[in-house]
Amino acid sequence: MSRSRLLVPALATSVLVLSACGALTEDDAGTASGDARTVAAALYPLEYVAERVAGDVLDVENLTAPGGEPHDLTLDVRETALVTDAALVLHVDSLQPAVDEAVEENATGEVLDAASVVDLLPFEGHEDHDHAHEEEEAEGEAAEEEAHEGHEGHDHGEMDPHFWQDPVRMATLGDAVADRLAEIVPEEADTFRANAEALRADLEQLDEEYVTGLADCATYTVVTNHDAFGYLEKYGLHLESIAGISPDAEPTPAALAELQALIEEEGITTVFSESLVSPKTAQTLADDAGVDTAVLDTVEGLTDETADEDYLSLMRANLATLQEANGC
């Protein structure tokens, strides 16, 4: 066979490849690069919002595998490719360093940092107490400062990324996701915004359930394993953590002694461990204080046990657990 005859099919193949590339660019639904059909969400709460808003229009992929601890996430080749190719990457800046790095170095589509739209609160303050019991909080302020001293890994002044414990902030994120997706797929803008409105209705209903469900409790102090539930203070709760910001941090003996004294003083019945992290430290404190333990779901990710649940059901289960422990 002559060399010229061999070149003909090769050239034809090249033309087809170039034509296909051109077709992808034309059908890119408003994005200069990235996969117009995929949203990459850094962890479950973001995945939940993205799925509710995107509906059937786009696929949503979670970068954190079920059962994985989001704070410790590392990205493999597949997950890095998702960040690179997604039409939209949804993350929380500074929560998952591996995701932040991949976004900065690899993302070719749109990026939405949830922290930029939901008004994060500092770990130290949590002053967004819409329904707070001001008198009880004033009395507990000194005890809070003392209990926080000596908590290794508790970095005062940093912003608390666990905003999904507040359903209203989740609704705000849903609106922002709808706006961004409307830019990416303009012809589906009405669909995205209608989905966001439906999501907001569900989340505002959940918020009202927390308001009424925690309105009359025997105690409002809650001791948890690490500082992941501070946004619940808007409902009048006073949160104390054993390990501070990092779920893996080891509390000092002085911090444990202060918490044990607080448990006795305020008649706390339960120390809460959390999903996705070891309950050992919480169990030790509970045993020393002679109280019960229970589990609060951080709602950071699903597990084998919660695979059939979703954000709304997990938050409602947490509410029921808090009501039982705090005599509400």
**Burial of residue 128 (number of CB atoms within 10 Å: 0-12, 13-18, 19+):** middle
Residue 48 to residue 41: CA distance in whole angstroms? 9
CATH number of the domain that 286 lies in?
Answer: 3.40.50.1980
10 in a structural domain:
no
13 in a structural domain:
no
Q: How many domains does the chain have?
A: 2
209 in a structural domain:
no
- For residues 151 and 251, the answer to whether their CB atoms sit within 8 Å is yes
15 in a structural domain:
no
The pLDDT tens digits for 236-256 are: 999 998 876 555 567 788 889
**Judgement on whether residues 104 and 150 belong to the same structural domain of the protein:** no
**Judgement on whether residues 106 and 235 belong to the same structural domain of the protein:** no
Residue 163 to residue 295: CA distance in whole angstroms? 19
Q: Judge if pTM exceeds 0.85.
A: no
**Judgement on whether residues 180 and 277 belong to the same structural domain of the protein:** no
**Judgement on whether residues 298 and 247 belong to the same structural domain of the protein:** yes
**Judgement on whether residues 153 and 293 belong to the same structural domain of the protein:** yes
**Judgement on whether residues 84 and 180 belong to the same structural domain of the protein:** yes
**Judgement on whether residues 45 and 153 belong to the same structural domain of the protein:** no
DSSP string for residues in 270-296: EEEEETTS--HHHHHHHHHHT-EEEEE
* Residue 41 neighbours by CB under 8 Å, 6+ apart: 47, 49, 50, 60, 61, 62, 63, 90, 91
Local confidence pLDDT in tens for the 328 residues of the chain: 444 444 344 434 333 333 333 333 334 433 334 556 899 999 999 999 999 999 999 999 999 998 888 888 999 999 999 999 999 999 999 999 999 999 999 999 999 999 999 999 998 755 444 433 333 333 334 333 433 333 333 333 389 999 999 999 999 999 999 999 999 999 999 999 999 999 999 999 999 999 999 999 999 999 998 889 999 999 999 999 887 655 556 778 888 999 999 999 999 999 999 887 788 889 999 999 999 999 999 999 999 899 999 999 999 999 999 999 999 9
Structural domain harbouring 60: 28-119+167-203
The pLDDT of residue 14 is: 39
Residue 44 to residue 300: CA distance in whole angstroms? 6
Helices (H), 214-309: 253-266, 280-289
2 in a structural domain:
no
